[in-house]
Structure formats: structure tokens, C-alpha cells
């Protein structure tokens, strides 16, 4: 019998398992899919071409010391920086490059619009100290020494933030605003508003949503910490975690869906039951899946009372991603492109309003109107092992596709994929002739393959009332639950969604600190 069963072999589940195994516990991870990885999988969707099925760029985990603590580099993890981390390719042919260096970015913007360049420089001057403070929030489960360093940085950054915003009232007003308002206030035109919004939309939040301002301010994080591609695709992170877990004595079972989280007669957790009826007994269970599914559907009997009621009241919207993976015989030929322009995100959003309208349509169960907000990544430009020699992969995404759409996705998918490709064709004439294969991943596909309710990659919206110490709820933000021995992790838990690893580490630390079970000697 293992000491701990972890439900879900996405990156957070594997991070939690590694920390628990490192503490000397016998850990088993069970995963419903036929492969580990969750939203960080890289699959051969077109023969000879390997694509990141969902996550394609890693940022938050590289703000933490998790890769160093678990020595993932020695387990094969090799991150390559995307610099520039984003390039805005306009339908009118203008190109603006967002480099790791703020100064280089401002210089690129100035080539198109000096007014936008000045405004962007001031926007970053305000945002950088605020983001430095906020980044401390992704360090859940950090070591005591790291916590002390974070505290010192918070004090310094907080003082700088207050001075630059001229007081706490102005800071609060900024954070409570929709990011549409922040971008219209802080930036001069769509030259910069549109591409910044394209990155902010990764949070699955409309620019018009109150309290979403921080998703635009997060632009400063890319200058501070960069954007990163794992060699071999997003799967490179997962494979390194699997190797590290194996070296620590932990195990993983795939194609093992959990149908029930069992309780003992005294109410504490007793283990899990898999499809087919096999019972896996353990005194501790850590779920790294949607917390609502874990506690309100799988737990038997389900959680009840005020904690359950609060969890049941959490929300997620209808706007998610639609992804088209394209195998091509050359990189998109943007007129005026320079070396490096294919390194990071390539934004095909010309107007902030296009995103506003796209999200509004998605919430109304409709497809976004033309022009469809779209962005692309070409990971093979950094990693030639993803495609045959001389060929490339392109990840094309719409961040405001409806999870549920009128008429169903089977009737809409191919036509909508063509409309997404239209956005690229308008910027790289002749692009369609370079396509040699494609795979369309609708929200329905993602929901079915990844067991993501409503295809929401974060499980829950990343709204102000569902972030940090409020994620998924105030009562559950510490990762422990009212059921003794049962803990939660994953993208829907504190502090944040995305490729962070912090929810996994924090859940493991909660097990070790709060459960009080005897530890086995480390190997």
C-alpha cells in the first residue's frame, strides 16, 4: 500500500509527487489518460510532426526555484528562451518586437509609433515593481530562506509601487479595473494595446472583465523573467519530472481513471477506486484535478456543508482556447520579418476591440466575429527535433473560442479553423500553400482527452475572488480539506493556474506539515 496516491499526472501532480517522494514517502500517481502530462503534453498529431497539445510556452515555473530544487536539468530539462518573447504582425504589414529588454522593445515600438513607445516605457515603469511583488505569490511552498528573501523583496517592491502610483488608492483602482480600461489609459493606440491584450487573454478573461487588470500588467513579467520553450516541447518538463520521480522511488500508472475517492468509516480518506473496480488503498490522497470534480463528484460521500457550498459557487466562463496545429514546409513569410521573429508568440490581433467582441460572443455561445483574434507559435524555430529537416510546426490559437457553441463543435470546427488560418494568410501571403498537414483541437476534444470540465485549462476562472489565498476558495486555499488525509492541487488551486508547479509543491508541503504521518528515511 502506498503512503500517498496522487490523482492526475499533469505537471502539478508530478511536482507534488516528487516532493513527497523526496521526503521518503512511497508515492503512486494515477492518471486517466494513456500518457502523463495533462496540459503539458507534446504529441505527434501529424506523422513526423510533434505539437504541444495545449501549453506551448513556460513562464511562471521559471519564476520559482522548483526546477532547481528538484534538479530537473539533471533529469533532462533544457529550457530555451524565446527572445523576442512576442512579435506583433499587423494586417497592414507593421511589425513590433517585444524583447526581454524593455529598452529594445521601446526602440522597436518607436520605429512604428514614437507616442506608443513613450507610453509603453511608462507602462512598464509602473508595472515592473507591482509584478515583482506579485511574483512572490507564485512561490507557494518555498523554503524558509526563500520566504525571507521574498519578504524583503515585497517590502521594497511595495514601497516602490506605492510611490509610483502615488498611494494605495491608486493601486487598488488600477487592480480593480478591466484590462481594457488599463490598456486604453496607459497605452497610446492598438499598436501596443492589441498585442499586450493577446498575451493577457491567455488567462481566459475578457478585456472587459472587472478586476482583470493584472493580466495586462503581467506583461512586465515577460521582461523580468522571459518566456521559455522546453526542448522536445512542453513534454520536456513532464518527462524530466517523470525521470526525477522514478529516481526518487515513486511510480506512475496511466490509463487508470479514478471513479471514486473512498472514505473510511471514521470519515478520513481511505484511497481511491479505479475504473474496473480496483481499489488502491492509501492514508493520503492528493488530487491534482479540478477541485470541484474531486470534492463534489469523486469523493464518496461528497463534501457537504459551508466549505462545499462555497466551492460549488466558484465560476468558470465559456471562453476557452481553440487550437489548430499546422505542419508546414517553411516558417510564415511575414514581409519585413527579421531573424528571431519566429522565436516567441506571433500576435495577429490588430485591435483590442476584436478581443472584447470575441469574448462577448463566446460567453453568448457564439463563434467570435471576423477578424478572429488569433496568435501563433512556431516552436520548431527553436527546436528542430519537432519536425522533419527543413519543415516546421505552427501552433495557431484563438483565446476566446466558446467551450459550448450553438450547433455543436462538429458543425463548426473546420470552418472556424479556416477563419483562423485566414488571419495568418493575411499577414503572410501564400501561407496556405505551405501547409502539408493539420490537426484541429476543439474545446470538445480537449475536454474529452484531458478530462477538463468545459475545456477550461485553469479549471476555474482566474478572477480576483479566485486567485492566491482565495483559490479555489478561502477555506481550501491551504490545500488541506475537511476530510482528513485528503489534499487538493492542480490549476484550480492556490496560488494560480498555468504552468507554475507552485500548487503541486504547496500541496506536498501541506501534506508533510499538516498530516503528521510518519516519514520513511530518505534513500
Mean pLDDT of the chain: 93
Higher-confidence residue of 139 and 274: namely: 274
Q: What is the mean pLDDT of residues 421-434?
A: 98
Tell me: pLDDT of 153 over 70.
no
DSSP-assigned beta bridge partners for residue 28: 5, 251
pLDDT digits (tens, 9 = 90+) for 332-373: 999 999 999 999 999 999 999 999 999 999 999 999 999 999
Average confidence (pLDDT) over 434-463: 94
Q: Of all helices (H) and strands (E), which one includes residue 5?
A: strand 4-7
Question: What per-residue confidence (pLDDT) applies to 131?
Answer: 87
pLDDT of residue 45: 97
Q: Mean of the pLDDT values across residues 254-277?
A: 97
State the pLDDT at residue 172.
74
Contact 296, 483 (CB under 8 A): no
Confidence of residue 134 (pLDDT cuts 50, 70, 90): confident
Mean pLDDT of 325-330: 98
User: pLDDT category, 160, cuts 50, 70, 90?
Assistant: confident
Nearest to 238 by CA among 10, 488, 499: 10
More confident residue, 456 or 517: 456
The answer to whether the CB of 292 falls within 8 A of the CB of 471 is no
pLDDT at 46 over 60: yes
In this prediction, what percent of the chain has a pLDDT beyond 70? Answer: 93
Q: Pairing mode, if any, of strands 49-52 and 95-98?
A: unpaired
Arithmetic mean of pLDDT, 120-130 = 93
Confidence band, pLDDT 50/70/90 cuts, at residue 522: very low
Q: What is the pLDDT of residue 174?
A: 82
Domain definitions of the chain by residue range: 4-40+233-315+458-515, 80-230+317-450
Q: What are phi and psi of 15, to 5 degrees?
A: -60, -45
SS3 168: helix
Q: Which of 176-180, 286-290, 462-466, 480-484 has the lowest mean pLDDT?
A: 462-466
Lowest mean pLDDT: which of 47-61, 160-174, 268-282, 490-504? 160-174
CATH class in words for 4-40+233-315+458-515: alpha beta
Cα dihedral: 419, 323, 406, 296 (round 10): -170
Mean pLDDT confidence for 245-256: 98
Stretch among 300-304, 489-493, 517-521 having the lowest mean pLDDT? 517-521
Write out the three cell numbers for 390.
527543413
Amino acid at each position: 500500500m502506498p503512503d500517498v496516491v496522487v490523482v492526475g499526472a499533469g505537471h502539478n501532480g508530478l511536482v507534488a509527487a516528487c516532493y513527497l517522494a523526496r521526503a521518503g514517502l512511497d508515492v503512486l500517481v494515477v492518471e486517466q489518460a494513456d500518457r502523463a502530462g495533462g496540459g503539458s503534453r507534446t504529441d505527434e498529431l501529424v506523422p513526423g510532426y510533434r505539437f504541444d497539445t495545449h501549453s506551448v510556452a513556460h513562464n511562471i515555473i521559471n519564476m520559482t526555484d522548483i526546477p532547481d530544487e528538484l534538479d530537473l536539468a539533471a533529469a533532462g530539462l533544457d529550457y530555451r528562451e524565446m527572445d523576442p518573447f512576442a512579435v506583433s504582425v499587423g494586417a497592414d504589414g507593421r511589425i513590433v518586437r517585444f524583447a526581454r529588454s524593455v529598452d529594445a522593445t521601446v526602440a522597436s515600438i518607436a520605429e512604428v509609433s514614437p507616442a506608443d513607445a513613450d507610453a509603453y516605457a511608462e507602462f512598464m515603469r509602473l508595472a515592473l515593481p507591482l509584478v515583482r511583488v506579485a511574483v512572490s505569490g507564485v512561490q507557494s511552498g518555498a523554503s524558509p530562506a526563500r520566504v525571507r528573501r521574498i519578504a524583503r523583496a515585497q517590502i521594497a517592491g511595495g514601497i516602490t509601487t506605492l510611490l509610483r502610483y502615488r498611494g494605495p488608492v491608486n493601486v487598488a483602482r488600477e487592480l480593480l479595473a478591466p484590462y481594457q480600461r488599463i490598456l486604453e489609459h496607459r497605452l497610446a493606440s492598438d499598436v501596443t494595446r492589441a498585442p499586450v491584450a493577446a498575451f493577457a487573454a491567455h488567462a481566459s478573461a475578457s478585456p472587459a472583465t472587472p478586476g482583470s487588470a493584472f493580466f495586462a500588467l503581467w506583461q512586465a513579467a515577460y521582461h523580468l523573467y522571459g518566456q521559455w520553450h522546453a526542448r522536445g516541447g512542453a513534454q520536456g518538463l513532464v518527462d524530466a519530472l517523470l525521470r526525477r520521480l522514478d529516481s526518487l522511488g515513486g511510480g506512475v500508472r496511466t490509463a487508470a481513471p479514478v471513479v471514486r475517492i473512498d472514505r473510511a468509516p471514521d470519515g478520513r480518506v481511505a484511497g481511491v477506486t479505479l475504473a474496473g473496480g480496483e481499489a488502491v488503498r492509501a492514508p493520503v490522497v492528493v488530487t491534482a484535478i479540478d477541485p470541484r470534480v474531486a470534492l463534489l463528484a469523486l469523493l464518496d460521500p461528497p463534501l457537504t456543508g459551508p466549505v462545499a457550498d462555497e466551492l460549488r459557487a466558484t465560476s468558470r466562463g465559456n471562453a476557452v482556447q481553440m487550437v489548430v496545429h499546422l505542419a508546414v514546409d517553411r516558417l510564415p513569410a511575414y514581409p519585413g520579418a527579421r531573424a528571431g521573429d519566429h522565436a516567441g508568440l506571433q500576435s495577429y490581433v490588430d485591435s483590442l476591440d476584436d478581443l472584447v467582441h470575441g469574448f462577448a460572443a463566446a460567453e453568448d455561445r457564439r463563434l467570435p466575429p471576423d477578424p478572429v483574434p488569433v496568435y501563433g507559435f512556431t516552436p520548431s524555430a527553436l527546436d528542430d527535433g519537432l519536425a522533419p529537416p527543413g519543415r516546421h510546426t505552427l501552433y495557431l490559437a484563438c483565446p476566446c473560442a466558446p467551450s459550448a457553441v450553438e450547433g455543436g463543435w462538429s458543425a463548426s470546427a473546420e470552418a472556424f479553423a479556416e477563419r483562423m488560418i485566414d488571419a495568418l494568410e493575411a499577414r503572410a501571403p501564400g501561407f496556405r500553400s505551405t501547409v502539408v498537414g493539420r490537426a484541429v483541437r476543439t474545446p470538445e476534444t480537449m475536454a474529452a482527452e484531458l478530462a477538463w470540465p468545459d475545456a477550461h485549462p485553469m479549471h476555474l476562472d482566474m478572477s480576483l475572488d479566485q486567485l492566491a489565498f482565495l483559490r479555489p476558495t478561502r477555506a481550501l486555499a491551504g490545500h488541506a480539506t475537511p476530510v482528513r488525509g485528503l489534499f487538493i492541487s492542480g490549476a484550480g488551486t492556490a496560488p494560480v493556474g498555468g504552468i507554475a508547479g507552485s500548487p503541486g509543491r504547496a500541496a506536498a508541503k501541506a501534506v508533510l506539515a499538516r498530516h503528521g504521518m510518519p516519514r520513511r528515511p530518505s534513500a
